[in-house]
Structure 1
Amino acid sequence: MEHGTLIEVARYRVIFADCDPMRIMYYGNYFRLFEIGRAELFRTLGHPFPEYIARGLYLGVIETACRYHKPARYDDDVIIRAGISDVMRARLTISYEVTALDGALLASGHTTHAVLNDAGRPQRIPPEFRDAALGMQKRSS
């Protein structure tokens, strides 16, 4: 998936509870890192999630993907990068990379979200967020 520019949005230290019996980060926990990245990306764009929740809007996950390149291990510091890769009327796709401090790619992936109201019905992306997301895409082109 083409993802454009990803920006560093967070750093995370792998804790023991993140690891599986092989002492590497359990594969499902990378989606937690994606969620951290998504929340911090929205905050960076000036539109933190609580602002949308207060308006009765939510981002329902409709697709996820993660490719694992190298394992993260207990006590590793990792960098989470995220960026908007696609914006449609009622959904958007966010791309992610998780890297080691030395730049080694550990995982990459994306999540696609539908904007939903309290009743679970699709809603258009609010114009102010759409403008910010499209602006980020243009800067990366």
Structure 2
Amino acid sequence: MYVHETRLRVRYGETDRMGFVYYGDYAEYYEVGRVEALRALGHPYGELEEQGVQLPVRDLHVTYHRPARYDDLLTVRTTITELPAVRIHFRYEVLGPDGTLLNEASTTLVFVDAATGRPKRAPEELVKALEPYFPSAS
């Protein structure tokens, strides 16, 4: 498993009238987590796009436990749970300032050829960068 942590602070505009982070904004937090996880592996989204690879979200599942509030410093823990093929699976945990689990989610994204709009295999370089984190798969 590959695990990466990103920290971000809740902005005022991300909160609702109750003072909680609006539920829809968590999807953006997950996006930040996965973009930074791939960047840390040496494969930023921009480079994937330059190679003609797109990564649309196929599905998103979320379970909320506790709310985050304005100005909280959150940790988004992003886990790639298996080596990618045509799809890549991410799991997320959003932790509050004290480490409390606020919510957990998962997404599945599909590697798509930008020219044809058809699914394609994950770039070989990305798979190779992930292989050390999955020793039993090598």
Using structure 1 for the length normalisation, give the TM-score.
0.89
The residue number in structure 1 matching 2:130 is: 133
Q: Aligned with 1:134: secondary structure?
A: helix
Offset of residue 49 of structure 1: 0.8
The residue number in structure 2 matching 1:72 is: 68
Letter in 1 for 2:12: F
User: C-alpha separation between the residues in 2 aligned to 1:70 and 1:135?
Assistant: 34
Offset of residue 100 of structure 1: 1.2
CA gap 1:87/1:5 in 2 versus in 1, 3 angstroms: closer
The residue number in structure 2 matching 1:58 is: 54
Structure 1 position 27 matched with structure 2 position 23: yes
The residue number in structure 2 matching 1:122 is: 119
Q: Count the aligned residue pairs.
A: 135
Structure 1 position 44 matched with structure 2 position 40: yes
Percentage identity across aligned positions? 37
Q: CA RMSD in A?
A: 1.6
Which of the residues 2, 7, 27 maps onto 2:4? 7
CA gap 1:137/1:97 in 2 versus in 1, 3 angstroms: farther
Offset of residue 5 of structure 1: 5.8
8 A contact 1:59–1:114 mirrored in 2: yes
4+ aligned runs moved over 4 Å, structure 1: none
Segments of 5+ residues of structure 1 without an aligned counterpart are none
Segments of 5+ residues of structure 2 without an aligned counterpart are none
Letter in 2 for 1:46: G
8 A contact 2:60–2:108 mirrored in 1: yes
